Amino acid sequence: MKCDLPTPRTVPVRAVKLAWLIGVATFVAYAYFYPGGGWNQNTRFDLIRAIVERRTLSIDAYQLNTGDKSIHDGRYYCDKAPGQPLMAVPVAMATRTAQRALGSNPSSAASVVALSYVCTLFTAALPAALACVCLFWIALRLGASTRAAAFAAFAMGLGSPMWAYATLLWAHALAGACLLFAFAAALNLDRVESGRDVFWGFVVGVAAGWAMVTEYPAAPASAILAWFAVTRVWNSGRSRRLRVACGVMMGGVVCVLALMLYLRAAFGSAFHTSYHYEVGTFAVNGQGFIGLKYPRIDVAFRLLFGSKRGLFYLAPVLTFAPFGMWLLWRQLQDRAATLAAASVFLYYLLFNASYGEWSGGWSYGPRYMAAGIPLLCVGLAPVWDYFSKSGRAILLTLLAVSVLFSLIAVATTPQPPFDYRSPMTQLLWPSFWNGNLALEHTSMLAAFDSDPGGSHGAFNLGQLLGLRGLTSLLPLFAFWGMTVLAWAGFAGRARKQQAPWLGDVECTRRWQ
């Protein structure tokens, strides 16, 4: 039967268990794969090590392992925004302490690889998994059924390139998660007591601000979400607007100050980013302002549908998200939220289409617009609730294809070489079915960490257990099977208790 989207409501308490089940399932999927090194992740890891091991922001001791670097006053620095490395520093310090306590040499190549893995888990995999939990909550908050909310969360977490980015020490997963957290906090403003306006505004400011500290191009998206937070309480009077605006500003100022202090310490000026001093290839990435010119329609089309980087080509389930945005727009009380989410994704699409090197080098999917994917996925849950049984079968089929493509990418390499016109058909697909997994042999080690007797590139956890080829994925599949059984157990208990929090019985309002 056709199911209708209910009005926004409080998230059922028992649905919290399902939310965390989603979070654990996606986190394990992310943690199962370690994709090895590369210029992008190596420069961030170099900064982490420089701070933890040498108490400096200069990566002079490590810089030979990356071409992504800046030079200032004869010293080398990470050329990326510092948000992710700074967030990883406490984790790295704790990990090195634990290694010493366990009798391991923190300076050995194996320990350094383990350190890079842990830093990736806590600054990419964990935020991405929490973003899946957050999207589940957002969908329920906007009136979706639990099944629809779960569909949206799994589609984003496992059926999009976010899975690939969550395994890499790249900033895209963290930035996207921060933007989604900011959106959720702003969404919560219309129901909280006025006494908590400043708090939730502050959460919006910190989350959106840290997205910008993590990736400089996130600044316009952060501004959009700050605007959304204020409009959420616009009709509640001037005092509430001021409280929320003050909270947002305070949260944003904290992040901006952290960034300015870093830039001042590294480059001598709080207003000079690492891009002012970048070495090598940045100048040829495009013309115009910092590599940007104007959006090209042909590039936008290739970013969405092309076989090289196309988002909808690699994640066909997301093709229905714009339709879901339209469904949300038709509900008057959800229009501001819909506009904010859609605007963030559209901004990233236009940004990527304006960039000189729009394909993003060695990458799976359109990584320059990756941080906008979570906001696009807000539109998936309404589609599930709108469709009949046959329509949902199509959605599930597209989700299965999307998950398969993402699995193939993370199992082989989420960093296919730039030269492939169609990485999926030319490299990833044939390699996967031939059992050639973990293709990346580059490591995050510095020159003095080299270990001739070991291989420190990509691996998956099954391979560490001695499994080879496709059989190395069996532990992951077994875990997924247990997840399905756990979900079925929750559903069974809900039916016995006649609980209206799981399934289509939640839908009470028909689309007009």
For residue range 356-408, what is the model confidence (pLDDT) as tens digits?
889 888 999 999 999 999 999 999 999 999 999 999 999 999 999 999 999 99
Say if residues 195 and 233 touch (Cβ distance below 8 Å): no
Task: Calculate mean pLDDT across residues 411-418.
Answer: 95
pLDDT at 132: 97
Burial class (CB in 10 A: 0-12, 13-18, 19+), 147: buried
pLDDT at 141 over 80: yes
Stated pTM of the model:
0.92
Give me the pLDDT at residue 498, please: 46
The pLDDT score that the predictor gives to residue 415 is: 95
| Residue 234: per-residue pLDDT | 86
The pLDDT assigned to 280 comes to: 64
Q: What is the pLDDT of residue 331?
A: 84
Q: What is the mean pLDDT of residues 108-129?
A: 96
Mean pLDDT of 313-335: 93
Mean pLDDT of 455-470: 93
pLDDT of residue 245 exceeding 90, the answer is yes
pLDDT at 196: 86
- pLDDT on residue 511: 40
**Domain residue ranges in the chain:** 15-506
Distances (CA, A) of 30 to 27, 126, 401, 427, 470: 5, 8, 18, 21, 17
User: What average pLDDT does the structure give for the chain?
Assistant: 89
Higher pLDDT, 334 or 125: 125
Residue 208 has pLDDT above 70, yes or no: yes
- How large a percentage of the chain has pLDDT more than 70? 88
* pLDDT one-digit tens code per residue, 287-310: 545 667 889 999 999 999 999 999
Tell me, what's the pLDDT at 294? 84
pLDDT of residue 353: 95
Residue 489 pLDDT class (50, 70, 90 cuts): confident
For residue 492, pLDDT over 70 is answered with: no
Q: How confident is residue 138, by pLDDT bands cut at 50, 70 and 90?
A: very high
Q: CA 230, 232, 235, 241 torsion: positive or negative?
A: negative
pLDDT at 100 over 50: yes
Distance CA 439, CA 382 (A): 38
Question: Which residue do the tokens 């945005």 mark?
Answer: 325
Of 204-208, 233-237, 276-280, 474-478, the range with the lowest mean pLDDT is 276-280
How large is the average pLDDT for residues 111-131? 97
In this prediction, residue 474 has a pLDDT band, given cuts at 50, 70 and 90, of very high
Per the structure block, which two tokens stand in for 364?
A: 């799976």
| Per-position b or e across 452-478, b if 16+ CB within 10 A of its CB | eeeebbbbbbbbeeeeeebebbebbee
Q: Of all residues in the chain, what percent carry a pLDDT higher than 90?
A: 76
pLDDT for the residue numbered 102:
92
